[in-house]
Amino acid sequence: MVRPAMKRSTKQAILDAAEELFADYGFAATSLRAITAAAQVNLAAVNYHFGSKEALIDAVFARRVEPMNRARLEALHELQTAFVDAIVPLDRLIAAFVEPALALSHDRTLGGQRFVRLLGRSLTEPAGAVHDSLRGRYVEVSEQFKSAFARTLPELPAVELYWRMHFMVGLLAYLMAGVDIMRLIASSRMSAHSEYDAVLPRLVSFIEAGMRAPVNADDTVSDLHPVSGAQL
């Protein structure tokens, strides 16, 4: 704690290396040997500082998730004080939720793209204890934004809001995880357009339109298949 700060502490070196390797290869496929080698520390240091590999995974997440969710809640609070007695614009609400996550991919000091990939991955990986420690901080964010969206979109039924927020989270998770998947769909030289500057406004307006989509009274599943018949 009262470290000279001359050289990056062993603990931090381990966290940085683990973050990078976890993001690249997944949790199970990353060995403590690879982590300690990359961090240029001794193999035993991980178990000394963190106790176990599982605890190290938790620590990697705890370092980044807390600030991100705090940024989301702060942005939401700023909006709510800026729009007292008025309706918070939908695009700003979406941006408040989405931007702190995407911002991680820019700002080096926040951990950079390394962690962004890792976070996205953790949403689809059954990382056990990771989910539990993430869930604790996330439910607050989720609830606050749900209320805020409900106020901005008062005519939207709760069930629809639930699904659409779900879609929003999904889209975000994918964008965070799937940087290299762009080539799957791209296959052309469009990769030049992949700057992250371009993604935020496009993502926000896509989500905004989806949030404002008309609500179908009855599900139109069957209407969707006059040709192929009801195959769902």
Q: Which of residues 10-69 bind DNA (CB under 7 A)?
A: 10-11, 30-34, 41-49, 51-54
Looking at the chain, which runs of residues are DSSP E strands?
none
Instruction: Output the 3-class SS for 56-92.
Output: HHHHHHHHHHHHHHHHHHHHHHHHHHHCCCCCCCHHH
- Taking the C-alpha atoms of residue 80 and residue 22, their distance in angstroms, rounded to an integer, is 37
Residue with smaller CB distance to a second copy, 114 or 121 = 121
Q: What string of DSSP letters covers 90-115?
A: HHHHHHHHHHHHHHTTT-GGGTHHHH
Question: How many of the other CB atoms lie within 10 Å of CB of 130?
Answer: 22
Q: Does 99 bind a second copy (CB under 8 A)?
A: yes
x/- string (CB under 8 A) for a second copy, residues 59-98?
----------------x--xx--x--------xx--x---
Q: Give me the least distance between CB of 2 and a second copy, in Å please.
A: 32
Q: Does 147 bind a second copy (CB under 8 A)?
A: no
Burial of 156 per CB tally in 10 Å (0-12, 13-18, 19+): middle
Q: Does 155 bind a second copy (CB under 8 A)?
A: no
Residue with smaller CB distance to DNA, 36 or 152 = 36
CB 116 within 8 A of CB 172: no
Q: Which range of residues in 2-10, 14-22, 23-31, 58-66 is near a second copy by CB under 8 A?
A: 23-31
- In the list 124, 129, 147, 150, the residue contacting a second copy (rule: CB under 8 A) is 124
Residue 187 binding result from a second copy, DNA, none, given CB thresholds of 5 to 8 Å by partner type: a second copy
Q: Does 219 bind a second copy (CB under 8 A)?
A: yes
